[in-house]
Amino acid sequence: MSAADGGVSPTAAPSAGIGVGRLIPPLLVLLVIALASVLIAVAIGSVHIPPAELWAVFTGDGSPLHRTLVLELRAPRALAAFAVGGLLAVAGALMQVLLRNPLADPYVLGLSGGAAVGALASMLLGMGAAVVSGSAFIGALLSTVLVFGLAHGTGSWTPTRLLLTGVVVAAGWGAVITFMLAVGPTEQLPGMLYWLMGDLTYARTPWVAFAVLLGTCLLVLPLGRSLNVLARGPLQAAALGVPVRALEWSIYIGASLITAVAVTTAGSIGFVGLVVPHMLRLVLGNDQRLILPAAALAGGALLALADTLARTMIAPEQLPVGVITALLGVPTFLYLLYRSR
Amino acid sequence: MIATTTARTPLRILAGLAVTGILGPWQVIAADEPCVTDDADREVCLDAPAERIVSLSPGATELLFAAGAGDAVVGAVSYSDYPPEAEEVPRVGSYKRLDMETLLAREPDLIVGWITGNPSEQLERLQELGVPLYLSEPRELDDIASTLERLGVLTGTAGHAADEATAFRDAIDGIRDEYADAEPVRVFYQVWDDPLMTVNDAHLISQAAALCGGDNVFGELGSLTPRIDTESVLDRDPEAIVAGGMGEADETWLEPWRGYDSLTATRRDNLFFVPPSSIQRPTPRVAEGSRILCEQLERARERR
């Protein structure tokens, strides 16, 4: 979708030797797509608002009902969707570089499991939305520290070891989640399932996620070169003077923190973190200086559009956004993959 | 769970008394600016009787129609199918996930929410947006009557609602009196078949059975609708098995029990069906459902 509009050759470009100037045009295209997606998300809802009325709302006019719909319901949710999508896509791109594994996504190391256990436990205790978010964040951090500590262990450290530790910890969380779903009161099951599927209804305010997304972009951009080298392998990276261990742990902790923010905002939305970085690599080549900011924009755009569909497709019934991200993303990704051969 | 007390306007004692039905002449004053306490112990006050109501549970829709406010219901969630007129009311999503836009576009002046059914974050959001919200959670038989009265006050149909409440209380008291000396019958109520689910004593269904000597074999379990296994049913050997079903006349859930001759209920053919919506929803129809249930338990007694 967004990537195809970039119109860049699909063959994977070599990561070194591209000037910074070459990075700007694709990013500008993605920026336009991102802005358009947020605009669409604000303009479309289950209630039809004519363009003239919409414009009136933007200029500080408009009926009280339309103001509430656009400013209180749609805008915060669209921004939250964009921020969460961007965070997940960036976290996914970072994890794929860190683990040198194409199947890595933000949740592969068990973070969403920890967050889900926190969120579901506080739902079982009948807590309000704020406590559920807080518990999810604590659960995510707990899982991160657990995996960090266990993977560190006493032996040598490798991405494989980290991956195995994370996957097994994730399986453990999965068991706890299943247990809670099995014993939880029936009336709470829908809420718990929606949280697990990911749903922007939980987004209370977009600003935290948005600020974190901006901060993340500013922090990882200078790391692009080192990440490019790291992606080719730790030995070459070390030989070229990259502090491999420090860089790897920073990626792990950074990606975990931003995933925790995303999951805390909207539950564990799947797919975005796995597929958006791959789509971008197929179209733009594997240059982390480009992929990371592009992931922020494309992931945000995808989730903002997907959430618009989730709100409106079978309105007034509401779908969890995870359904739509997969429905949109799977064919797009398969098409790009097929074309790239 | 949900914000406990939000006194929207200063406490109005007169209105409070009017709710309890003590006041005669002052009720007129109260009706102008109705105030009631909802099931979350929040004070809900309106500037005027509600004219545009959105109901967020099928049960609340039914209660609003019963309270005489059916014409004022301008939005309801899916499965709001009783009375038949309720099917015509525009939908605002499902109780599990509300379509906030469609809901607000109905421009409600009162929303009747469901504490354990609606997503708490959406109820919180509605409160933030400032639409008067009455939170409902009828847990006891008498809560049905008092909900009718309270909704009547909020919607300006207090007289009609009070009559309906009285009729409901009379029906329940009638059943209780009729079966006052009834011998206990050990009963298992099956609320779902896969997974197998029942109710505990805190549930309305168990309370309805208790009106006429029904002794819930799973009454002491901790959860309101516990998931159980077939073994534990065989172990507790109920004298009667009562099941709902997927539809209003679907008795297939009782079939598997016919294979267990060790069950007293099976040997005596005490496998009964109650139309689920007449007893599983906290509405005035529970009086009718309770009567059916009690007649079935009476048949079980006769077959001893």
Give dist(CA B205, CA B134) in Å, integer. 24
Q: Give A315→chain B minimum CA distance, Å.
A: 7
Residues written for chain A: 341
Which pLDDT does position B32 carry in this prediction? 67
For an interface test with B, the pick among A63, A192, A201, A314 (most B C-beta atoms closer than 10 Å) comes out as A201
User: Could you tell me the pLDDT band of residue A341, with boundaries at 50, 70 and 90?
Assistant: low
Res B110: pLDDT: 96
Q: Is the pLDDT of residue A144 over 50?
A: yes
**For A64-82, what is the mean pLDDT?**
92
DSSP string, chain B: -------SS---HHHHHHHHT--STTHHHHHHS-EEE-TTS-EEE-SS--SSEEESSHHHHHHHHHTT-GGGEEEE-TT--SSGGGGGSPB-EETTEE-HHHHHHT--SEEEEETTTS-HHHHHHHHHTT--EEEE---SHHHHHHHHHHHHHHHT-HHHHHHHHHHHHHHHHHHHHHTTTPPPEEEEEESEETTEE---TTSHHHHHHHTTTEEETTTT-SSSS-B--HHHHHHH--SEEEE--SSTT--GGGGGGGG-TT-HHHHTT-EEE--GGGTSS-STTHHHHHHHHHHHHHHHHHT-
User: pLDDT tens across B188-217, in order?
Assistant: 999 988 888 999 999 999 999 999 999 999
Interchain proximity B121–A315, CB inside 8 Å: no
Chain A residues within an 8 Å CB radius of B3? 128
The pLDDT of residue A155 is 64
Examine the pLDDT at B22 and tell me if it is beyond 50.
no
CA distance B266 to B289: 22
User: Is the Cβ pair B121, A204 closer than 8 Å?
Assistant: yes
Q: What are the φ/ψ torsions at residue B94 (nearest 5 degrees)?
A: -100, 160
Nearest chain A residue to B125, by CA: A204
**Joined tokens for residue A293:** 């900011």
Q: State the pairing for strand pair B271-273/B185-190.
A: unpaired
Q: Is residue B100's pLDDT more than 50?
A: yes
Chain B residues inside the 8 Å CB shell of A191: 96, 119-120
Residues of B in contact with A182 (CB under 8 A): 227
Query: pTM here?
Result: 0.82
Residues 117-146 of B with CB under 8 A from A: 117, 119-122, 124, 129
Q: How confident is the model at residue A16 (pLDDT cuts 50, 70, 90)?
A: very low
Find the mean pLDDT for residues A256-261. Answer: 92
Q: Is A126 on the interface with B (CB under 8 A)?
A: yes
What integer pLDDT is reported at residue A234 of this predicted model?
A: 83
Interface A–B counts its CB contacts (< 8 A) at 86
> If you average pLDDT over residues B159-180, what whole number do you get?
95
CB-based contact, B96 to chain A, within 8 Å: yes
Q: Is the ipTM of this complex over 0.90?
A: no
Q: pLDDT digits over A294-305, tens only?
A: 999 999 999 999
pLDDT at position A221? 85
Burial A56-73 (b: 16+ CB within 10 A, else e): bbeeeebeebbebbbeeb
Q: Are A135 and A71 in contact (CB under 8 A)?
A: no
Residue A12: the pLDDT is: 39
Q: What is the CATH number of the domain that holds A262?
A: 1.10.3470.10
pLDDT reported for residue B208: 94
Q: So what's the pLDDT on residue A9? A: 34
CA B181/CA B175 separation, integer angstroms: 11
pLDDT of residue B27: 43
**Structural domain span for residue A112:** 4-13+20-339
Q: Does the beta carbon of B196 lie under 8 angstroms from any beta carbon of chain A?
A: no
Contact B133, B127 (CB under 8 A): yes
**Whether the predicted pLDDT of B220 surpasses 80:** yes
Share of chain A above pLDDT 90, in %: 42
- Find, among A48, A65, A43, the residue nearest to B130 by Cα: A65
Q: What pLDDT, on the 0 to 100 scale, is given for residue A1?
A: 36
What is residue A174's predicted lDDT score, i.e. its pLDDT?
A: 94
A50 interfacial to chain B (CB closer than 8 Å): no
A87-105: average pLDDT: 90
Domains defined for chain B, CATH in brackets: 13-170 (3.40.50.1980), 182-302 (3.40.50.1980)
Residue A36 has pLDDT above 90, yes or no: yes
Please provide the average confidence, as pLDDT, over all residues in chain A. Answer: 86
| A contacts of B99 (beta carbons < 8 Å) | 46, 311, 315-318
DSSP string, B209-262: HHTTTEEETTTT-SSSS-B--HHHHHHH--SEEEE--SSTT--GGGGGGGG-TT
Judged against a pLDDT cut of 70, whether residue A2 lies above it is answered with: no
The pLDDT assigned to A322 comes to 84
pLDDT at B3 over 50: no
CA distance A240 to chain B (A): 51
Whether A169 shows a pLDDT value over 90: the answer reads yes
Cβ of B104 within 8 Å of Cβ of A318? The answer is no
Q: Identify from A54, A123, A318 which residue to disrupt to test chain B contact, counting B C-beta atoms within 10 A and taking the largest count.
A: A318
Mean pLDDT of A267-278: 90
Which range scores top for mean pLDDT: A148-152, A160-164, A213-217, A312-316? A213-217
For residue B191, the chain A residue with the least C-alpha distance is: A186
CA B147 and chain centroid, separation: 9
What is the average per-residue pLDDT within B123-141?
93
Lowest mean pLDDT among A109-123, A319-333, B58-72: A319-333
User: Looking at residue A18, what is its pLDDT?
Assistant: 58
The pLDDT score that the predictor gives to residue B29 is: 44
Number of independent structural domains in chain A: 1
Name which of B57, B97, B116, B205 to mutate to probe chain A: the one with the most chain A Cβ atoms within 10 A of its Cβ: B97
